[in-house]
Structure 1
Amino acid sequence: MTSSARPLLNRRLAEFGTTIFAEMSALAQRTGSINLGQGFPDTDGPEAVREAAVRALREGHGNQYPPGPGVPELRTAIVEHQRRRYGLSYDPDQEVLVTAGATEAIAAALLALLEPGDEVIALEPYYDSYAACIAMAGGTRVPVTLRPAAAPGGESGQGHFALDLDELRAAVTPRTRLILLNTPHNPTGTVLTRAELAAVAELACERDLLVITDEVYEHLVFDGAEHIPLASFPGMRERTVTIGSAGKTFSFTGWKVGWITAAPGLVAAVRSAKQFLTYVTSGPFQYAVAEALRLPDSYFDGFRADHQAKRDLLSAGLAKAGFGVFRPAGTYFVTTDIRPLGVSDGFAFCRALPERCGVVAIPNAVFYDHRDQGAPFVRFAFCKRTAVLEEAVARLTSLAA
């Protein structure tokens, strides 16, 4: 036991305890509930990709430290993917960095690019690691809240969350260093439009801001929505760090293979921080992901269609159970409004839900600085087997009574 009165935990992290994901996953296990809280698939991705990892292991590719920036095969595949999908050209040797998932990419980018006191604008609600990484870097987070643009629809999902561009512009001060953008957006499922992204790009250029874009759900956009990388807008390639990941696209979240693409100076800066975090990671899996990125368009089309069908299944079930449903344009999460059920405290609702009907969800308020803004919203993940979603829907319908 320490004799010092000083707290053991660094004060920058004092506000961050055990994540809600750990709490709710433990609750799911303890109660035998269906876990629609944490966003991970319950089946593996393509067999050919898994076999590519096995082949790399057996042939000794990546079993020792891979190159710091990532294996050349993967960096080349990432460049090809960005060119084929978006018309963006990058140098695989100077403008790509492989990371331990998108989470390390976020951490390394913020640690590299922020000085203490710098302000970071982030769209609220946001993935919880954003706040922790900004704090570790000594930055100050400035939330700009995405708000419901209309009352949530039922099965038709008429409601959505929208970015107030005037509020975004007003949030910029002389201390603003960068904007941290996430589209398709977790947890709301919002996909920023071309017009919204153009406005962000114009603001960044006008105020000389850097932008970090988390685009890990780039291949999960529905109903004709379009994912457009911010780096493709005029003036943005030189000031944007784009983050991608294999976990969400290929359903191998445990492999932890992510990457950034950016101009050479930005990659060099992020690499300087990343080398003292994990240094290198996931050697054999990097070779497998290189093959995965070269899968034919039919894989990506089928992947998207499968998740859209699951989205529709869960959205319809939630509406039938009495939730207000914001049917997402992207990601694999559905945000719901619990007020039609006669309650408004998402934390209490989610902690009671496993005992009530054997399903686990996540209260969106954990993703907000302004907790009151997120209080009535609850997130469900639909990246599960269809049979699991059907059982979850059957259990949730008991709430309608």
Structure 2
Amino acid sequence: MATDAAARWERVAALARAPGTCDLGQGWPDVGESAIAIDAARRAMTDGTTRGNQYAPPRGRSELTEALVEYYARTGYDVRNGSGDDGTSSVVVTASATEALYGAFQGALRASAERDEIVFVEPFFPWYKAIADDLGGKSVVVRARASDGFAIDVEAVRAACEGGKTALLVMCSPHNPTGHCATRDELEGIATVARELDLTVLSDEVYERAVFEGGEHVRLATIGDMRERCVTLGSASKLLNLTGWRVGWAIGPPRLIDQINSAHSLMSYAAPTPFQIGVAAALNEISASATGRVTADANAEAMHSNARTLGRALEDAGLQVFYPKGGYFLTCDVSSTGLTDARFCERLAEKARVACVPMSVFFLDAPDVPRSLVRFAVCKKPSTVDESSRRIRANAPYP
């Protein structure tokens, strides 16, 4: 994040830590942790037979790499080539999806001296720019606009990548922070651009089971020939609501996965062993009932209900709400208050004791950055969202 954006984020985070504040700022879930994963990890730490408290292989424990191959196969993306390959060379387990992200960026930027640009949709997960900066890359953004429902502008993506400088195109669906879920048409458009411009694409799909209203998550790697040029990211943090475990993964062509594994082995070496075993057990349980595609889970239903509850309260307070199609977050426009996004977040925390995040921290610094959008996390207990909604109504208006 840029310095001023980081300072704004820290101010809001400090307000969220105040006693009695309902924290709808940071996207950590306070409900829905996988009991199966927790129980399996506990057994791994205490049964004395699995080396559960010792190093795992850098690429991942076999229980988890095999479970990942099976999970993706059972949900529509099989990386096995049918000639005896078990698919595990197409997977690496990392200490968080953020570490996998770093490895993918590093591999892409080192692959060619002429290609130093990382292209992604704006607003964006702040670590995209932070990692690109750390590695000496240049961030190039394609603006998604609230007035268009934060849809992906495929032609703008093409224009951003046509100069021959793109090391990596990054897509995210369901999208953080807007909650937009890429449509099949959008994904097919991105696949066409990637093929015609010979791009490597990283598809950040950590929120894949958090899709609302019967929507379908379509993996970019399953479109056309994208499996040969696409790395897909996943995470126990979001798939299983276990953000503190720091277990993530990447799946894709071995030539790209090997680059991530090289970086990962020099950073953390291995993700925590008992947590890997726990995640494997939870994935196997999901795979057992999979029907060939990614389906929403019970947590998604709860978050969708939270988004509707919170959205109605914000509308009652006179704000414009952009209801998400998936993910952990809801966005609204506070321009009716006459306040900037940062000042509104401060005012809401002070007056209603509800914390949210100014969306300007998810944009590159520029004169035309929207200063009226704010983000709320809906990955919380319904009681937390209900109380937040009550406070928002009771303390409106917010000029």
Give the TM-score taking structure 1 as reference length.
Answer: 0.89
2:362 to 356, 367, 385: 367
Mapped pair 1:127 → 2:138: no
Distance in 2, matches of 1:218 and 1:14, equals 28
Deviation at residue 294 of structure 1 after TM alignment: 2.0
Deviation at residue 275 of structure 1 after TM alignment: 1.1
Mapped pair 1:219 → 2:209: yes
Could you tell me which residue of structure 2 aligns to residue 137 of structure 1?
135
8 Å CA contact 1:216, 1:245 repeated in 2: yes
Mapped pair 1:24 → 2:12: yes
Distance in 2, matches of 1:370 and 1:24, equals 18
Mapped pair 1:170 → 2:159: yes
8 Å CA contact 1:311, 1:332 repeated in 2: no
2:304 to 308, 331, 334: 308
Deviation at residue 17 of structure 1 after TM alignment: 7.6
1:399 to 382, 396, 399: 396
Deviation at residue 16 of structure 1 after TM alignment: 7.9
Give the unaligned 5+ runs of structure 2. 81-85
Could you tell me which residue of structure 1 aligns to residue 334 of structure 2?
338
C-alpha distance after superposition, 1:193-240 (max 9, x if no partner): 001100101111111110011000000011232211111112211111
Could you tell me which residue of structure 1 aligns to residue 21 of structure 2?
33
Deviation at residue 317 of structure 1 after TM alignment: 1.6
Could you tell me which residue of structure 1 aligns to residue 269 of structure 2?
279
Deviation at residue 351 of structure 1 after TM alignment: 2.1
Equivalent residue letter for 2:396: L
**What SS is found at the alignment partner of 1:394?**
helix
CA shift in 2, pair 1:14/1:312, >3 Å: closer
8 Å CA contact 1:320, 1:400 repeated in 2: no
C-alpha distance after superposition, 1:81-136 (max 9, x if no partner): 11111243344431000011111111111112214661111100000100011111
Segment of structure 1 superposing worse, 317-326 or 252-261? 317-326
C-alpha distance after superposition, 1:358-379 (max 9, x if no partner): 0110001101015533311000
Distance in 2, matches of 1:47 and 1:367, equals 33
Distance in 2, matches of 1:318 and 1:78, equals 39
Distance in 1, matches of 2:10 and 2:273, equals 27
Equivalent positions of 1:284-295 (< 5 A) are: 284-295=274-285
Segment of structure 1 superposing worse, 220-229 or 326-335? 220-229
* RMSD over equivalenced CA pairs, Å: 2.0
8 Å CA contact 1:31, 1:354 repeated in 2: no
CA shift in 2, pair 1:166/1:48, >3 Å: closer
Could you tell me which residue of structure 2 aligns to residue 64 of structure 1?
54
8 Å CA contact 1:99, 1:258 repeated in 2: yes
CA shift in 2, pair 1:57/1:92, >3 Å: farther
Mapped pair 1:353 → 2:348: yes
8 Å CA contact 1:31, 1:355 repeated in 2: no
Equivalent residue letter for 2:313: G
Distance in 1, matches of 2:151 and 2:315, equals 21
Deviation at residue 21 of structure 1 after TM alignment: 5.0
Deviation at residue 46 of structure 1 after TM alignment: 2.9
| Matched pairs, number | 379
Mapped pair 1:329 → 2:321: no
Could you tell me which residue of structure 1 aligns to residue 247 of structure 2?
257
Deviation at residue 308 of structure 1 after TM alignment: 1.6
**What SS is found at the alignment partner of 1:212?**
strand
Distance in 1, matches of 2:389 and 2:252, equals 42
Equivalent residue letter for 1:214: D
C-alpha distance after superposition, 1:307-331 (max 9, x if no partner): 2212211112221122110000010
Give the unaligned 5+ runs of structure 1. 1-12, 151-159
CA shift in 2, pair 1:256/1:21, >3 Å: farther
% identity of equivalent residues: 38
**What SS is found at the alignment partner of 2:142?**
strand
Deviation at residue 246 of structure 1 after TM alignment: 1.0
Equivalent residue letter for 1:356: K
Equivalent residue letter for 2:316: K
Could you tell me which residue of structure 1 aligns to residue 190 of structure 2?
200
